[in-house]
Protein backbone atom coordinates (compact mmCIF):
# COMPACT_ATOMS: atom_id res chain seq x y z
CA UNK A 1 0.00 0.00 0.00
CA UNK A 2 1.54 3.29 -1.09
CA UNK A 3 1.76 6.01 1.54
CA UNK A 4 -0.05 8.38 -0.82
CA UNK A 5 -3.11 6.15 -0.99
CA UNK A 6 -6.40 7.45 0.36
CA UNK A 7 -9.03 5.02 1.58
CA UNK A 8 -12.36 6.77 1.83
CA UNK A 9 -15.26 5.23 3.74
CA UNK A 10 -18.97 5.79 3.61
CA UNK A 11 -20.32 6.20 7.14
CA UNK A 12 -23.90 4.96 7.56
CA UNK A 13 -24.21 1.22 7.06
CA UNK A 14 -20.48 0.92 6.37
CA UNK A 15 -18.73 2.10 9.53
CA UNK A 16 -21.90 2.45 11.59
CA UNK A 17 -24.36 -0.37 12.25
CA UNK A 18 -27.70 1.42 12.04
CA UNK A 19 -29.91 -1.57 12.88
CA UNK A 20 -27.96 -2.42 16.03
CA UNK A 21 -27.93 1.21 17.10
CA UNK A 22 -31.72 1.46 16.91
CA UNK A 23 -32.29 -1.92 18.59
CA UNK A 24 -29.96 -0.98 21.46
CA UNK A 25 -32.23 1.94 22.24
CA UNK A 26 -35.30 -0.27 22.11
CA UNK A 27 -34.65 -2.49 25.10
CA UNK A 28 -38.38 -2.63 25.83
CA UNK A 29 -39.03 -3.85 22.28
CA UNK A 30 -41.66 -1.19 21.76
CA UNK A 31 -40.65 -0.57 18.15
CA UNK A 32 -41.95 -2.73 15.28
CA UNK A 33 -39.38 -5.24 14.02
CA UNK A 34 -39.06 -3.49 10.65
CA UNK A 35 -38.69 0.00 12.11
CA UNK A 36 -34.96 0.57 11.57
CA UNK A 37 -35.08 -0.84 8.05
CA UNK A 38 -38.08 1.27 7.03
CA UNK A 39 -36.63 4.42 8.56
CA UNK A 40 -33.37 3.93 6.68
CA UNK A 41 -35.12 3.19 3.38
CA UNK A 42 -37.26 6.31 3.65
CA UNK A 43 -34.23 8.39 4.66
CA UNK A 44 -32.43 7.40 1.46
CA UNK A 45 -35.56 7.89 -0.63
CA UNK A 46 -35.85 11.44 0.67
CA UNK A 47 -32.26 12.25 -0.34
CA UNK A 48 -32.89 10.98 -3.85
CA UNK A 49 -36.16 12.89 -4.12
CA UNK A 50 -34.53 16.10 -2.91
CA UNK A 51 -31.75 15.57 -5.43
CA UNK A 52 -34.14 14.87 -8.31
CA UNK A 53 -36.21 17.95 -7.51
CA UNK A 54 -33.18 20.20 -7.07
CA UNK A 55 -34.27 21.14 -3.55
CA UNK A 56 -31.38 20.25 -1.25
CA UNK A 57 -32.14 19.96 2.45
CA UNK A 58 -29.54 18.71 4.87
CA UNK A 59 -29.35 15.12 6.06
CA UNK A 60 -30.38 15.86 9.63
CA UNK A 61 -33.61 17.41 8.37
CA UNK A 62 -34.36 14.52 6.03
CA UNK A 63 -33.51 11.96 8.72
CA UNK A 64 -36.10 13.60 10.97
CA UNK A 65 -38.72 13.64 8.23
CA UNK A 66 -38.05 9.97 7.49
CA UNK A 67 -38.38 9.19 11.19
CA UNK A 68 -41.72 11.00 11.36
CA UNK A 69 -42.94 8.90 8.43
CA UNK A 70 -41.76 5.65 10.04
CA UNK A 71 -43.42 6.52 13.35
CA UNK A 72 -46.70 7.28 11.60
CA UNK A 73 -46.62 4.38 9.15
CA UNK A 74 -45.57 1.72 11.64
CA UNK A 75 -47.49 2.95 14.65
CA UNK A 76 -44.50 3.65 16.89
CA UNK A 77 -44.58 5.85 19.97
CA UNK A 78 -44.10 9.45 18.84
CA UNK A 79 -42.84 10.36 22.31
CA UNK A 80 -39.61 8.52 21.48
CA UNK A 81 -38.78 10.73 18.50
CA UNK A 82 -36.02 12.75 20.14
CA UNK A 83 -34.45 9.66 21.67
CA UNK A 84 -34.30 8.02 18.26
CA UNK A 85 -32.89 11.12 16.57
CA UNK A 86 -30.21 11.28 19.25
CA UNK A 87 -29.13 7.79 18.18
CA UNK A 88 -27.51 9.39 15.13
CA UNK A 89 -25.16 11.29 17.41
CA UNK A 90 -23.91 8.09 19.09
CA UNK A 91 -24.14 5.25 16.59
CA UNK A 92 -22.61 1.83 17.18
CA UNK A 93 -19.67 1.05 14.90
CA UNK A 94 -19.47 -2.41 13.39
CA UNK A 95 -17.40 -4.65 15.70
CA UNK A 96 -14.38 -4.76 13.39
CA UNK A 97 -14.34 -1.05 12.52
CA UNK A 98 -11.68 0.06 15.01
CA UNK A 99 -9.30 -2.75 14.23
CA UNK A 100 -9.72 -2.47 10.47
CA UNK A 101 -9.13 1.29 10.37
CA UNK A 102 -6.18 1.05 12.74
CA UNK A 103 -4.53 -1.64 10.60
CA UNK A 104 -5.01 0.40 7.43
CA UNK A 105 -3.50 3.48 9.02
CA UNK A 106 -0.54 1.51 10.31
CA UNK A 107 0.00 0.17 6.78
CA UNK A 108 0.47 3.72 5.51
CA UNK A 109 -2.95 4.62 4.12
CA UNK A 110 -4.59 7.94 4.81
CA UNK A 111 -8.19 7.50 5.87
CA UNK A 112 -11.24 9.67 5.26
CA UNK A 113 -15.01 9.57 5.43
CA UNK A 114 -17.31 10.78 2.64
CA UNK A 115 -20.90 10.88 3.81
CA UNK A 116 -24.36 12.33 3.26
CA UNK A 117 -24.36 13.26 6.94
CA UNK A 118 -23.86 16.84 8.04
CA UNK A 119 -20.54 17.82 9.59
CA UNK A 120 -22.18 18.02 13.01
CA UNK A 121 -23.77 14.58 12.73
CA UNK A 122 -20.53 12.99 11.60
CA UNK A 123 -18.34 14.71 14.17
CA UNK A 124 -20.59 13.61 17.03
CA UNK A 125 -21.00 10.01 15.84
CA UNK A 126 -17.33 9.46 14.97
CA UNK A 127 -16.21 10.92 18.29
CA UNK A 128 -18.71 8.86 20.28
CA UNK A 129 -17.65 5.68 18.46
CA UNK A 130 -13.96 6.36 19.03
CA UNK A 131 -13.24 6.44 15.30
CA UNK A 132 -12.39 10.14 14.94
CA UNK A 133 -8.71 9.77 15.96
CA UNK A 134 -8.20 7.15 13.25
CA UNK A 135 -9.27 9.47 10.41
CA UNK A 136 -7.34 12.12 8.52
CA UNK A 137 -10.35 13.88 7.01
CA UNK A 138 -14.15 13.92 7.14
CA UNK A 139 -16.04 15.18 4.10
CA UNK A 140 -19.77 15.96 4.15
CA UNK A 141 -21.92 16.42 1.06
CA UNK A 142 -23.32 19.43 2.93
CA UNK A 143 -20.23 21.29 1.71
CA UNK A 144 -21.66 21.34 -1.83
CA UNK A 145 -25.37 20.70 -1.26
CA UNK A 146 -25.49 17.55 -3.39
CA UNK A 147 -26.27 13.98 -2.32
CA UNK A 148 -24.58 10.74 -3.30
CA UNK A 149 -24.49 9.08 -5.77
CA UNK A 150 -24.26 12.29 -7.84
CA UNK A 151 -20.90 12.43 -9.60
CA UNK A 152 -20.22 15.88 -8.14
CA UNK A 153 -19.88 14.33 -4.68
CA UNK A 154 -17.04 11.98 -5.64
CA UNK A 155 -15.32 14.74 -7.62
CA UNK A 156 -15.59 17.00 -4.60
CA UNK A 157 -13.84 14.32 -2.55
CA UNK A 158 -11.00 14.26 -5.05
CA UNK A 159 -10.65 18.03 -4.76
CA UNK A 160 -10.69 17.98 -0.96
CA UNK A 161 -8.12 15.18 -0.84
CA UNK A 162 -5.98 16.66 -3.62
CA UNK A 163 -5.94 13.20 -5.17
CA UNK A 164 -6.65 11.70 -8.55
CA UNK A 165 -9.41 9.12 -8.83
CA UNK A 166 -6.88 6.29 -9.19
CA UNK A 167 -5.30 7.27 -5.87
CA UNK A 168 -8.55 6.76 -3.96
CA UNK A 169 -10.08 3.53 -2.75
CA UNK A 170 -13.73 4.13 -1.93
CA UNK A 171 -15.38 1.71 0.50
CA UNK A 172 -19.13 1.40 1.03
CA UNK A 173 -21.70 -1.19 2.04
CA UNK A 174 -24.25 0.49 -0.24
CA UNK A 175 -24.11 -0.89 -3.78
CA UNK A 176 -25.59 2.31 -5.23
CA UNK A 177 -22.82 4.31 -3.56
CA UNK A 178 -20.12 2.00 -4.87
CA UNK A 179 -21.62 2.25 -8.35
CA UNK A 180 -21.58 6.04 -8.22
CA UNK A 181 -17.94 6.13 -7.17
CA UNK A 182 -16.95 3.55 -9.76
CA UNK A 183 -18.50 5.60 -12.54
CA UNK A 184 -16.31 8.51 -11.46
CA UNK A 185 -13.17 6.43 -11.82
CA UNK A 186 -12.50 5.71 -8.15
CA UNK A 187 -11.21 2.28 -7.20
CA UNK A 188 -14.03 0.70 -5.25
CA UNK A 189 -14.59 -1.88 -2.52
CA UNK A 190 -18.08 -3.14 -1.77
CA UNK A 191 -18.63 -4.37 1.79
CA UNK A 192 -21.31 -6.94 1.03
CA UNK A 193 -22.11 -8.23 4.52
CA UNK A 194 -25.23 -10.13 3.53
CA UNK A 195 -24.15 -11.67 0.22
CA UNK A 196 -26.48 -9.57 -1.92
CA UNK A 197 -26.25 -9.96 -5.70
CA UNK A 198 -24.47 -7.19 -7.63
CA UNK A 199 -26.67 -4.40 -8.99
CA UNK A 200 -26.51 -0.92 -10.53
CA UNK A 201 -24.05 -2.14 -13.14
CA UNK A 202 -21.24 -3.03 -10.73
CA UNK A 203 -18.57 -4.98 -12.58
CA UNK A 204 -15.54 -7.08 -11.72
CA UNK A 205 -13.50 -3.97 -10.91
CA UNK A 206 -15.61 -3.58 -7.77
CA UNK A 207 -13.81 -5.74 -5.21
CA UNK A 208 -16.28 -7.46 -2.89
CA UNK A 209 -15.46 -8.15 0.77
CA UNK A 210 -17.50 -9.59 3.62
CA UNK A 211 -16.59 -6.97 6.24
CA UNK A 212 -14.17 -4.13 6.91
CA UNK A 213 -11.26 -6.50 7.67
CA UNK A 214 -11.30 -7.42 3.99
CA UNK A 215 -10.45 -3.87 2.93
CA UNK A 216 -6.80 -4.31 3.98
CA UNK A 217 -6.17 -7.00 1.38
CA UNK A 218 -8.46 -5.54 -1.28
CA UNK A 219 -6.62 -3.95 -4.18
CA UNK A 220 -9.24 -2.84 -6.69
CA UNK A 221 -7.95 -2.13 -10.20
CA UNK A 222 -8.24 1.30 -11.71
CA UNK A 223 -10.78 2.09 -14.43
Residues 6+ apart with CB under 8 A from 75: 32
Which of 5, 10, 26, 142 is catalytic? The answer is 10
Same-domain check for residues 182 and 73: no
Same-domain check for residues 131 and 175: yes
Same-domain check for residues 78 and 34: yes
Residue 1 lies in a domain: no
Q: Quote the domain boundaries for residue 186.
A: 6-17+91-215
pLDDT tens for the chain, 223 residues: list them: 444 589 999 999 999 999 888 888 776 667 888 899 999 999 999 999 999 999 999 999 999 999 999 999 998 888 888 989 999 999 999 999 999 999 999 999 999 999 999 999 999 999 999 999 999 999 999 999 999 999 999 999 999 999 999 999 999 999 999 999 999 999 999 999 999 999 999 888 899 999 999 999 887 766 5
| Number of domains making up the chain | 2
Tell me whether residue 10 is one of the annotated catalytic residues: yes
**pLDDT for position 76:** 83
- What pTM, to 2 d.p., does this model score? 0.93
Same-domain check for residues 127 and 198: yes
Residue 220 lies in a domain: no
Same-domain check for residues 37 and 137: no
**pLDDT for position 3:** 43
Residue 76 lies in a domain: yes
**pLDDT for position 28:** 63
Same-domain check for residues 25 and 36: yes
Of 67, 89, 111, the residue at which a domain comes to its end is 89
Of 89, 123, 150, the residue at which a domain comes to its end is 89
What CATH number corresponds to the domain at position 76? 1.10.150.240
Same-domain check for residues 107 and 201: yes
Of 57, 89, 121, the residue at which a domain comes to its end is 89
Same-domain check for residues 38 and 126: no
Amino acid sequence: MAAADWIVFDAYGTLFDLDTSVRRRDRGRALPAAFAREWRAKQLEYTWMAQAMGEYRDFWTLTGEALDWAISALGADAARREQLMDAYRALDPFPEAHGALRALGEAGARLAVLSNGTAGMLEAALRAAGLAPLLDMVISVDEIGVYKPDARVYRHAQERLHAAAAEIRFVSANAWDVAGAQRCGLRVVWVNRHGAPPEYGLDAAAVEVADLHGVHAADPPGP
